[in-house]
């Protein structure tokens, strides 16, 4: 049985790009969206991974419509009484969320610190982590501050 072809076949450069081997590089939206003069910019590799983890750290669970468990909401821990069990719980939550929602990242280290704000008067929660990108094996240090 012969198949039917609808439309026109692509020509020239379009045909070459459609039939070329698939690139292993992953692209996504640069975060934050709308920063600068262009609304959407694409990012890849290290920049894409940083944006994905930033979104995960500062998104509240229930904020994403079709992913109700997505997010850690780091801001909600600012005024909590941080003891060893809460820090261990936060570290477990971060590592499980990264494993579940960011499959191209491997968490290699994580450290949570609390600054009571003796100089600034503002309590601050600081999360230091090291991520390894699985595709390129590149190690990326990250720091998140509330």
Please give the full DSSP string across the chain, using - where no structure is assigned: -PPP--S----HHHHHHHHSPPP---EEE-SSTT-SS-S--EEEHHHHHHHHHHHHHHPPTT-SSS-TT----GGGGTTS---HHHHHHHHHHHHHHHHHH-TTEEEEEEEEEEE--TTTS--EEEEEEEEEETTT--EEEEEEE-
The pLDDT mean for the chain works out to 77
Question: Looking at residue 35, what is its pLDDT?
Answer: 64
Instruction: Give me the pLDDT at residue 19, please.
Output: 47
Measured in degrees and rounded to the nearest 5, phi and psi for residue 15 equal: -65, -40
The C-alpha angle 98, 115, 79, rounded to 5 degrees, equals 75
Question: Residue 13: inside a domain, yes or no?
Answer: no
In this prediction, residues 1-11 reach a mean pLDDT of: 53
d(CA 103, CA 94): 13
Band of pLDDT at residue 141, cut at 50, 70 and 90: confident
Quick: pLDDT tens for 42-63: 666 778 788 888 889 889 999 9
Q: Considering the domain boundaries, does residue 97 fall inside one?
A: yes
* Total residue count of the chain as it appears in this document: 146
The number of distinct structural domains making up the chain is 1
Domain membership of residue 33 (yes or no) is: yes
User: What range does the domain containing 109 cover?
Assistant: 26-145
| CATH number (domain holding residue 87) | 3.10.450.40
Kindly state whether residue 133 falls inside one of the protein's structural domains. Answer: yes
Does 9 fall in a domain? no
Asked if residue 21 belongs to a domain, the reply is no
């Amino acid at each position: 049985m012969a198949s039917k072809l609808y439309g026109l076949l692509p020509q020239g450069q379009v045909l070459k790009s459609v039939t070329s081997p698939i690139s292993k590089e992953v692209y996504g939206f640069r975060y934050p969206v709308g920063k600068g003069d262009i609304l959407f910019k694409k990012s890849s590799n290290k920049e894409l991974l940083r944006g994905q983890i930033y979104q995960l750290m500062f998104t509240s669970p229930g904020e994403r419509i079709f992913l109700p468990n997505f997010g850690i909401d780091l801001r909600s821990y600012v005024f909590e009484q941080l003891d060893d069990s809460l820090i261990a719980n936060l570290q477990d939550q971060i590592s499980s969320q990264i494993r579940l929602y960011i499959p191209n990242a491997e968490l290699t280290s994580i450290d949570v610190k609390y600054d009571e704000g003796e100089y600034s008067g503002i309590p601050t929660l600081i999360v230091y982590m090291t991520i390894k990108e699985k595709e390129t094996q590149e190690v990326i240090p990250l720091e998140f501050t509330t």
